[in-house]
A and B are shown apart, each in its own frame.
Chain A
């Protein structure tokens, strides 16, 4: 029986706590008597017969007829699936998407459906490489559909192939992929790693245009999204998305939503010690940790990245549900919270977090400084329900090398954003006003997004807006171990050591400030009372 998450009060006997530092780790001693560590629940049991569970979900959907009864010869069927941004790290084969899509295709074939298109719902993310598509879908699906042009990636800038479904009562235009819009049935295949994802967000972001996305991917909406991972009614982003969902439901094609949840068994051996609680580390775990960190210290950064990004997580499916989007997503949220929710009493003055080598926007790439901000203030800060873990005006301390390094293929506009926009302002509202349009409409960025493997020109803005609520909420943000000039460009304060960071933080929150560490891995959502 997996143990639930819990909050450890740090005392003198508490060992040093492991922090991510990009492509490495460190052990940090947290002050006794005023620190606590939030540990995630242990990984839930995976479904034993995954293919059986998928088939059961397709035949017994929620608030919809069984999938086979919705399939008929001559119909136009579109299967959309989540892109490479999740899960992290990538799954061991077979990927959930492959399992689900193969099951759907079997049913479609049995029903005589031959007009089937598979679309990677990547929104404004980068196009997946062939090896990534093969990993997600399996060789059989890839080889059957891709050569015939029936497996492709959504293009938010292909205006000939976008269609307007309608407009919400708030004036938000819902514009999505034309093939999907004109289908008799869309089947959306999700991997719900975090509670932010899924539901109506799947189609209204993954298959949407820039115009459509900009209604909710903006500073005002994200400053009022409290939080991305918490209750829907406290998230302006999800409220907007759900309004679009209503338009989609009322005026769009029929949708069969399939959502799946994963357990948090994220790292394979020899990195499985990462998921353990430090005082439970065996002598072997300690030796592995030491050997790993010392080796990584001597490993060229490119090689270290390759090692980490090549890792395949052993995480497995804990639930699969299909049918009506609202009904399905309600169950999904319960399952995600069952795996990730931890009760926490009270906020803290200082929130610490280790930033890993990867976030949803750099699979097989570089965790550039903007993504460090996005991961820290956009994702980890938002891993709460009800109230933020850190009090308003408190301090957020992150650990990451924060190197000034970018992947020019994946993140060309990020480089210019760092040099040009962040040199001008770090305010989400101001950069949105002054710079966003230029980047969103830049023909070169569009070209690289549409034909290469680049994130859309506007994407660094979205990554920055993701942290808008955290930026607004925190009194100070400190990055330990980061390149000082780069950290300053982000508008944050560099510190050499965790002790230095606590000293710097004392200017804001005093000397007896309480400290809370969000332990990662794995994923957790703090339910703060």
Chain B
């Protein structure tokens, strides 16, 4: 039994940043992430339960952490040492230690999980992703499970969770399908803003594909204009087409498609009209700038992919009254939507490769090069070990 632990070690953090800049994912072998013997965490309160992890995915935010590129913004929202992993399917441990119900974890550590009363205004209305108390209460700071020293994370054989974080996995779901519930919930949250007008999804990694899947599974009835998806690799293009994109193209080809579809004129690099809704699932300076170039006046750029430090020319935002709106995490309702989306599109096949925890450097290298290697989701498989 073992776990991966991310510690506060500035020197190693710096090495990870250098290594990650040279080869994405290389921060795993030189940085502050280490494989350690598992140890049983104390339950924060008697309400909490123990989980035995079955599978845990590797997310883009995990990779940015490992390669040292995550924003300093998160520093106060993380407590060290912690075990990463927030895309989790696990068994609840019965009091006698035997495996109980199979659950997916809602990793957000909101007021309820932190024992905070009264609930903050956001939690009161169920918008736990906007909880105002993520660094407070009886738990150490932690945006989510997987970033908090007290809860553990999915990259370990065992962890703890509050009952409010548990969503039962349908019996007909494989573990591969279940490990996608959390990222699909993110996508479902993004898809809720889809209006059916011209929409561009930038990026066809896991998040881009799942967002597309969530739109076509839940909002297809309102679709009355093309959905354009940019994808870099052949497998991503194939999957985007399969999941219902009207147009799948390379990033540099996208403005032409949008221009044509919206009968737009062009000044400089800027479309005069453009897509009503641009969903940026990359979150880089380039992708956001491109989103601003193709979004319609008064339209919205929705930032689903986690951005870090970006540099943007915002004149067009001012001139065209466009909006950039963040899109973070999910509510409990999004998890139930995610289950429907996964079932409808049979998304379990998007888990391309699984690794044992001990092979974590290979797993992370694979995840960091997923698109190039024809993969979508890479996960740790902790079953039977």
Contacts and interface: CB of A to CB of B under 8 A. Distances in A.
Contacts, number: 22
B214 interface: no
- The CB with the most chain A CB atoms within 10 A, among B253, B264, B265, is that of B265
A415 B263 contact: no
A444 B264 contact: yes
A45 B374 CA distance: 64
Contacts of A438: 260
Contact of B257 (A420, A443, A444, A447): A420
B249 interface: yes
B256 A444 contact: no
B256 A415 contact: yes
A9 interface: no
Nearest to A416: B260
A50 to B, nearest CB: 45
Contacts of A416: 256-257, 260
A444 B259 contact: yes
Contact of A419 (B257, B263, B265, B266): B257
Contacts of B253: 419
Contacts of B265: 443-444, 447
On chain A, which size bracket covers the interface? Answer: under 10
Interface string A410-454: 000001100110000000000000000010001110010000000
Nearest to B260: A416
Contacts of B257: 416, 419-420
B200 to A, nearest CB: 15
A419 B256 CA distance: 10
A443 B266 CA distance: 10
B263 A420 contact: no
Nearest to A415: B256
A189 to B, nearest CB: 35
A479 to B, nearest CB: 23
A442 B256 contact: no
Contacts of A444: 259, 263-266
Q: Is the interface of A mostly helix, strand, loop or mixed?
A: helix
A234 to B, nearest CB: 37
A454 to B, nearest CB: 12
Contacts of A447: 265
A419 B250 CA distance: 11
Interface residues of B, number: 11
A123 B263 CA distance: 23
Interface-centre pick from A415, A416, A442, A444 (highest chain B CB count, 10 A): A444
Contacts of B264: 444
A434 to B, nearest CB: 14
A442 B263 contact: yes
Contacts of A419: 249, 253, 256-257
A409 B253 CA distance: 16
A444 B247 CA distance: 20
**Interface class of chain B by DSSP:** mixed
A442 B271 CA distance: 14
B248 to A, nearest CB: 10
A324 B163 CA distance: 95
A468 to B, nearest CB: 24
B22 to A, nearest CB: 31
Contacts of B259: 444
Nearest to B250: A419
A438 B266 CA distance: 17
A442 B261 CA distance: 10
Nearest to A444: B265
Nearest to A445: B260
Contacts of A415: 256
Interface in B228-274: 247, 249, 253, 256-257, 259-260, 263-266
Contacts of A420: 247, 257, 260
Interface string A387-428: 000000000000000000000000000011001100000000
B274 to A, nearest CB: 12
Contacts of B256: 415-416, 419
Contacts of A443: 263, 265
A142 to B, nearest CB: 30
B145 to A, nearest CB: 44
B257 to A, nearest CB: 7
Nearest to B247: A420
Interface in B315-365: none
Interface string B176-188: 0000000000000
A419 B260 CA distance: 11
A322 B145 CA distance: 88
A275 B35 CA distance: 75
A419 to B, nearest CB: 6
Interface in B184-203: none
Contact of A442 (B247, B249, B260): B260
A420 B248 CA distance: 11
A447 B265 CA distance: 8
Contacts of B249: 419
Interface string A240-263: 000000000000000000000000
A340 B158 CA distance: 86
Nearest to A408: B256
Nearest to B265: A444
A224 B265 CA distance: 37
A444 B260 CA distance: 9
A9 B159 CA distance: 84
A442 B263 CA distance: 6
Contacts of A442: 260, 263
A250 to B, nearest CB: 39
A419 B237 CA distance: 14
Interface in A444-491: 444, 447
A412 to B, nearest CB: 8
Contacts of B263: 442-444
Nearest to B253: A419
A229 to B, nearest CB: 35
Interface string B263-288: 11110000000000000000000000
Contacts of B266: 444
A444 B274 CA distance: 13
A372 B326 CA distance: 47
A447 B266 CA distance: 10
Interface string B109-136: 0000000000000000000000000000
A438 B247 CA distance: 17
Nearest to A417: B260
A416 B249 CA distance: 12
A496 B48 CA distance: 67
A196 B181 CA distance: 65
A220 B135 CA distance: 72
Interface centre among B247, B256, B260, B265 (most CB of A within 10 A): B260
A12 B80 CA distance: 83
A419 B259 CA distance: 13
A471 to B, nearest CB: 25
Among A419, A438, A447, max chain B CB count under 10 A is at A419
Nearest to A457: B260
A469 to B, nearest CB: 29
A58 to B, nearest CB: 45
Nearest to B264: A444
A411 to B, nearest CB: 12
Contacts of B247: 420
A314 B331 CA distance: 76
Nearest to A423: B247
B15 to A, nearest CB: 42
Given A420-B247, A420-B257, A438-B260, 7 more contacts: A416-B260, A419-B256, A419-B257, A442-B260, A442-B263, A443-B263, A444-B263
Interface of A: 415-416, 419-420, 438, 442-444, 447
Interface of B: 247, 249, 253, 256-257, 259-260, 263-266
11 contacts: A416-B256, A416-B257, A416-B260, A420-B257, A438-B260, A442-B260, A442-B263, A443-B263, A443-B265, A444-B263, A447-B265
8 nearest interchain CB pairs? A444-B265, A416-B260, A416-B256, A443-B265, A447-B265, A444-B266, A443-B263, A442-B263
